[in-house]
Amino acid sequence: MSTPRFQLWSSVGKKLLTGITGLALMGFIVTHLVGNLNLFVGSEAFNGYTEALHQLGGLLVVAELGLAGLFLLHAVSAILVWRDNSGARSVQNTVVASKGSPSKQTVFSQSMIVTGSVLLVFVVLHVAQFRFGIFGGLDYTTTLDGKEVRDLYRLVVETFKNPAWVVVYVGVMVLLGGHLRHGFWSAFQSVGLLDPMLRPLAYSAGAVFAVAIAVGFLVMPIYLFLFA
């Protein structure tokens, strides 16, 4: 009955797409976290890092468009999977939810659509704020090795000198941790890389990964607020 085109949007296909894009986004988040560690080193290190990215020119634009596409695909496929699951209760999810500690598992998995939606709004706001300077700071420049470059360090520090932004970012990073807590092992399972025997290990690895990413990001605004 179903046509090949319809098969692409089967529930397995949508889960696969959510998993693949989720894994790719996790790769971006780790890279972004590592790059942002330059904030702890200081203005020259951070501006040098962002300037090196901007030197990529057209390649950076292609990467940014690809990244935007990944976020969009991930959101759309995840919403479609969530819609399917809320229409017809997934047997698989019921089995997973009854393993290990049931209440925690249910809280993280059931809040994916909420944490994901908040994160999507955050990413749009965040890119507008730092990449495009919609709240100001687009014209900040400094001299690095005798060359005039964008002073993103100043923009980031000024942003986090405002306690309201610190609260917003810390709150969002806690939600990011919650999203990754479930998303980590779920993504591996969706792409078929999770042997049932390894599931307990994947739960623990997911918890460690989620905490490391959330804490890594949320100490940045707090550190800059207190010490920069």
Candidate ranges 4-12, 74-82, 97-105, 127-135; the one touching ligand HEM (CB under 6 A): 127-135
Query: What phi and psi values does residue 210 have, to the nearest 5 degrees?
Result: -60, -45
The reply to whether 184 sits near ligand HEM by the rule CB under 6 A is no
Q: How far is the CB of 123 from ligand HEM (least distance, A)?
A: 5
Closer to ligand HEM at the Cβ: 84 or 158? 158
Q: Are strands 147-150 and 141-144 parallel, antiparallel or unpaired?
A: antiparallel
One-letter amino acid for residue 211 of the chain: V
SS3 141: strand
Give the CA diameter of the chain.
67
Number of residues that bind ligand HEM (CB under 6 A): 20
Nearest to 226 by CA among 149, 182, 170, 188: 170
Integer CA distances (angstroms), 42 to 45, 62, 137, in order:
6, 28, 18
Contact flags string 22-61 toward ligand HEM, x per CB under 6 A: -------x--x---x-------------x--x--------
Nearest to 204 by CA among 219, 188, 185: 185
Is residue 93 within 8 A of residue 109, CB to CB? The reply is yes
Closer to ligand HEM at the Cβ: 185 or 225? 225
Encoded tokens for 151: 């002073």
The residue from 40, 82, 130, 135 that contacts ligand HEM (CB under 6 A) is 130
The reply to whether 106 sits near ligand HEM by the rule CB under 6 A is no
Q: How far is the CB of 116 from ligand HEM (least distance, A)?
A: 11
Q: How far is the CB of 2 from ligand HEM (least distance, A)?
A: 35
The reply to whether 126 sits near ligand HEM by the rule CB under 6 A is yes
Is residue 66 within 8 A of residue 162, CB to CB? The reply is no
Q: How far is the CB of 169 from ligand HEM (least distance, A)?
A: 5
Is residue 142 within 8 A of residue 151, CB to CB? The reply is yes
The reply to whether 217 sits near ligand HEM by the rule CB under 6 A is yes
- Which residues are at the interface with ligand HEM (CB under 6 A)? 29, 32, 36, 50, 53, 64, 67, 119, 123, 126-127, 130-131, 152, 156, 169, 176, 217, 220-221
